[in-house]
Each structure stands twice: as structure tokens, then as C-alpha cells.
């Protein structure tokens, strides 16, 4: 535990010059980072956030600087930040270079899709914004909640095999492989990822889906009127020939809750375990 805390703090020190003055104007790029700043009671220092930052709802009152991976330097600089907190992968790289060249302090927080990764993310944010004591308390609270949720979820001796579908536009399924947030949360929720032959999110063939034979199809819930419905997913030839398709087992969960690995990670694990309940036997909480 001490080593992981040290590693998180070290990553912050490497990523940015020492923060000699407390940053009064913070921009967060990454929903989990925004949630952590709120959970640390430092939301009054936020002047903007990216479009993946949607929780708590009040954060949507802040200026939106754009999608985390498609930022425009002008939009970020327009809010005159003292500090930018960004998740690993934020960009594009040329935008990040412009922001650094402008002299804005920047901290890049690693994305590690494990319980320890959640805890280290909290520590890293706390160090960056000089709220170490509050971060330690939050780290301990979240770690305890997450450990309890994972212990219950993974007690199932017969975990379901789950196909995480990122999108199914035009009938072409984009699924989650290994080393993804979806893969990480499935493992923590006591399920098996049906697609482990490749890393990242990739289009998969009908043959690969049929061979994987998932028990459940998991998708993100969406407020978009253009989101594909459960009925449309079940009608796809590849899905129709799987146990999930034959039993109509499609479950959905809010994408921000499920994939951001922030302070609500324990809720994501518990909610997924409940959604998978009944597919295979799940233990009851005593």
C-alpha cells in the first residue's frame, strides 16, 4: 500500500513542476478527476471541466472545454487556469503541447483499472491540489467500500461471461478486449470478459461473437435518441445465436459510473453484480 501511494505521488511530481502556490483555478479533464475534486471539498476551485465530467449534476453548470481526447487549447486557456488535471490519454498531443508552452501547470493522472488504481488516483489528485489529508481519508473510505463490493461480487463460483459492446452502429459491433476499463470493471464485478484475444476496443466479427458465446451483453445506458435499442441488438445475427441473445440478456449501466474508476467505483461494482444476478447464482449479502 505504501509503495502504491509513493508511486502515485511520484507520478505527479514527474508530470508537473512543483506547485509552489495553491492553484485557485483548476480545469479537470476526466470525469473521475472531477468527482474526486468534489469529494475532497475543493469544487470551489474548479473553473471548467471536460464533457466526460457529468457527476455530480451541478458540475454541468461549469464551462465545458470539450471532449477529453479532442481538446482545443483556446477553449482551455480562455478560462485562465492555474492548473490542469488530466487523465492519461487526454489530448490531442499538439493541444497538450500548446498548453504546456503557455506555462500552465499540468498533472497527468495514470489510468489503472483496478481497485488500487482508484485509490492511487485519489492520492495523486490530493497531492496535485494540496489536499493530502482529505485525500488520505477519501482513499481509505473508497478502498474499504470497494473491497467489500468486490469481495461479494467475486464470491460467485460460476461467473457469467459478458460481452461489453461499446457500439453497434450499422450492425458492426465494437467490443471491449483486455486492458480496458470495461475489462477491469467486469473482473471486479465477478464476471469474465468474453473478448480477451485482443487489447483495447475493436470491431469484432460475427464468428468471433458466436464462438465467444457470452451469457450477457453489457452496454452503456444512453440519453441519446439515436442509441440502439435492446431489440435492435438482439436482432443482430451474431447476438441472436449466443446464450445472451437467446435469453434476451442485455443489461445497461451509466457509462460514467461504470468506466471512469472514480470515487463511485464500489457502486459500479455492486450495480453490475445486481444486473448479473440470476444469470448465474450470486451469493446473498449476510
Q: Determine the pLDDT at residue 285.
A: 44
The 3-state DSSP class for residue 11 equals helix
* CA separation for the pair 106, 8 (Å, rounded): 15
Matching CATH topology for 2-150 and 161-276? yes
Residue 240, all three cell numbers? 441472436
Q: For 117-132, write each residue's pLDDT tens digit.
A: 999 999 999 999 999 9
When pLDDT is cut at 50, 70 and 90, the band that residue 270 belongs to is very high
Residue 126, all three cell numbers? 490530493
Contacts of 106 (CB under 8 A, 6+ apart): 15, 16, 83, 84, 86, 96, 99, 100
The 3-state DSSP class for residue 124 equals helix
Q: For 166-223, write each residue's pLDDT tens digit.
A: 999 888 999 999 999 999 999 999 999 999 999 999 999 999 999 999 999 999 997 6
Q: For 131-159, write each residue's pLDDT tens digit.
A: 999 999 999 999 999 999 999 999 988 99
Residue 28, all three cell numbers? 479537470
Mean pLDDT for the chain overall: 90
Residue 129, all three cell numbers? 491540489
pTM of the model: 0.88
What are the start-end ranges of the H helices in 169-241?
181-188, 206-212, 230-235, 237-240
* CA separation for the pair 265, 122 (Å, rounded): 12
| Topology, domain 161-276 | Rossmann fold (3.40.50)
Contacts of 28 (CB under 8 A, 6+ apart): 34, 37, 46, 48, 49, 50, 53, 84, 85, 86
pLDDT for residue 253 is more than 70: yes
Q: What are the CA-CA distances from residue 141 to residues 106, 146, 231, 262 (Å)?
A: 27, 9, 40, 12
Structural domain 2-150, CATH architecture: 3-Layer(aba) Sandwich (3.40)
Q: Determine the pLDDT at residue 2.
A: 38
* CA separation for the pair 238, 129 (Å, rounded): 48
Domain ranges of the chain: 2-150, 161-276
Q: For 50-94, write each residue's pLDDT tens digit.
A: 999 999 999 999 999 999 999 999 999 999 999 999 999 999 999
Amino acid at each position: 500500500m505504501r509503495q502504491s501511494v509513493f508511486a502515485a505521488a511520484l507520478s505527479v511530481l514527474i508530470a508537473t513542476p512543483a506547485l509552489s502556490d495553491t492553484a485557485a483555478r483548476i480545469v479537470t479533464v476526466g470525469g473521475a478527476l472531477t468527482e474526486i475534486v468534489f469529494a475532497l471539498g475543493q469544487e470551489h476551485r474548479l473553473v471548467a471541466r471536460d464533457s466526460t465530467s457529468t457527476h455530480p449534476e451541478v458540475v454541468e453548470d461549469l464551462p465545458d472545454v470539450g471532449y477529453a481526447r479532442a481538446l482545443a487549447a483556446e477553449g482551455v486557456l480562455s478560462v485562465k487556469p492555474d492548473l490542469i488535471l488530466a487523465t492519461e490519454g487526454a489530448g490531442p498531443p499538439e493541444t497538450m503541447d500548446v498548453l504546456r508552452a503557455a506555462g500552465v501547470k499540468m498533472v497527468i493522472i495514470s489510468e489503472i483499472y483496478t481497485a488500487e488504481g482508484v485509490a492511487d488516483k485519489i492520492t495523486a489528485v490530493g497531492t496535485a491540489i494540496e489536499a493530502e489529508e482529505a485525500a488520505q481519508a477519501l482513499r481509505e473510505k473508497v478502498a474499504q467500500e470497494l473491497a467489500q463490493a468486490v469481495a461479494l461480487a467475486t464470491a460467485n463460483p460460476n461467473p457469467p461471461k459478458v460481452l461489453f459492446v461499446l457500439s453497434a452502429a450499422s450492425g458492426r459491433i465494437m467490443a471491449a478486449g483486455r486492458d480496458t476499463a470495461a475489462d477491469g470493471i467486469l473482473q471486479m464485478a465477478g464476471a469474465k470478459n468474453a473478448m480477451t484475444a485482443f487489447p483495447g476496443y475493436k470491431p469484432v466479427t460475427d464468428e468471433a461473437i458466436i464462438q465467444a458465446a457470452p451469457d450477457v451483453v453489457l452496454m452503456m445506458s444512453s440519453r441519446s435518441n439515436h442509441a440502439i435499442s435492446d431489440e435492435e441488438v438482439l436482432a443482430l445475427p451474431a447476438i441472436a445465436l449466443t446464450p445472451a441473445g437467446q435469453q434476451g440478456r442485455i443489461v445497461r449501466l451509466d457509462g460514467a459510473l461504470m468506466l471512469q474508476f472514480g470515487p463511485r467505483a464500489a457502486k459500479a461494482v455492486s450495480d453490475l453484480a445486481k444486473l448479473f444476478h440470476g444469470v448465474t447464482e450470486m451469493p446473498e449479502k449476510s
